[in-house]
Amino acid sequence: MICRHCQKENPESVKYCIHCGKPLDEPERQKPPVFDPHKEEGLNDDWSKPVEEEKTEVIKPAKKNSHVPVLIALGVLVGLLVIGGVVLMTYFNHQQEIQDQQEIQHQQEIARLEQEKEQEKEARKKAEEEADDLQDENEYLEDRNDRLENRQKDENESEDHYQYGFEIDTWYKANYNMALRNAGDYNATQTGHLRKDERIFIEEIISGSNGSYWGRSSSGNWVCMQDNDYDYLREE
C-alpha cells in the first residue's frame, strides 16, 4: 500500500506508514474548487468550509452493570425484614395467647375460691343451726329431767300425792267429749262440757259407783276419769 503522504510503499497489513507514521487509511481531504466567475452555476459553497478531519472512533469497553449487587442486597434486606416481621408477629401472638390463658386460669381460680367460700359459709350456717337444735334438745331434756326429779321428790315426800292410783295436782287431757258435773256421781247435775283433748287440772280424786273414779278440777267441777269400761282422762 502506497502512503499518500510520502508516496512510499508499505505492507498491506499495516495501518500506519512505516516511513512517515501517518495513517494509511485516512481519507483524502477534499480540495476546494477553483473559483470561476464565469461559471456561477457551478459554484459550491462547500469549498469555503474547513474540511473536518475524520476522527478515529475509539471503541470503549462496555461498563459492567453495577446495579445487580445493589438489587441483590436490597432483595436480601427485604427478605430479612419480611422474615423478621413474621417472627415478631408470631412471637406477639404467642405471648397474647399465653396472657389470655393466664387470665382464664385466674378467673377460674377466683370462681373456685368464691364457690369454696360459699360452701364453707353454708356448712358453717348448717353447723350453727344443728348446734342450736342440739342445745334446744339438751335444754328440753334437762328441763324434763328436772321435772321428773321434782316429781319423784314430791312423790317421796308425800304419800297423798296419789289417790286411788291417780296423781293429783296434775294436768290431764280428755280422751272423749265429757260432761262436767257438780258432784262425783253419774246422777249429779251437769254443769258443762269437756271437749276431746281439752286440758283440765285435777286437784282431788274420789271413787264412785260401777268402779268409777271422779276428779275435781280447779274450777270445782267433777269429771269421770275412769270406770270399768274406759279411761276417760290421760295424764299429760
> What are the pLDDT digits (tens) for 198-218?
999 999 999 988 889 999 999
pLDDT of residue 21: 83
What is the average pLDDT score of the chain? 82
Residues 6+ apart with CB under 8 A from 234: 172, 173, 175
Mean pLDDT of all residues in 125-154: 84
CATH fold of 165-235 reads: SH3 type barrels. (2.30.30)
Residue ranges per structural domain of the chain: 1-28, 165-235
C-alpha 168/C-alpha 161 separation (Å) is: 6
- Grid cell at residue 214: 271422779
pLDDT in tens, 144-181: 788 778 766 665 554 556 677 788 889 999 999 999 99
In degrees, rounded to 5, the angle at the alpha carbon of residue 234 between the alpha carbons of residues 172 and 173 is: 40
pLDDT at 43 over 50: no
Length of the chain measured in residues: 236
Contact by Cβ (8 Å): 219, 226: no
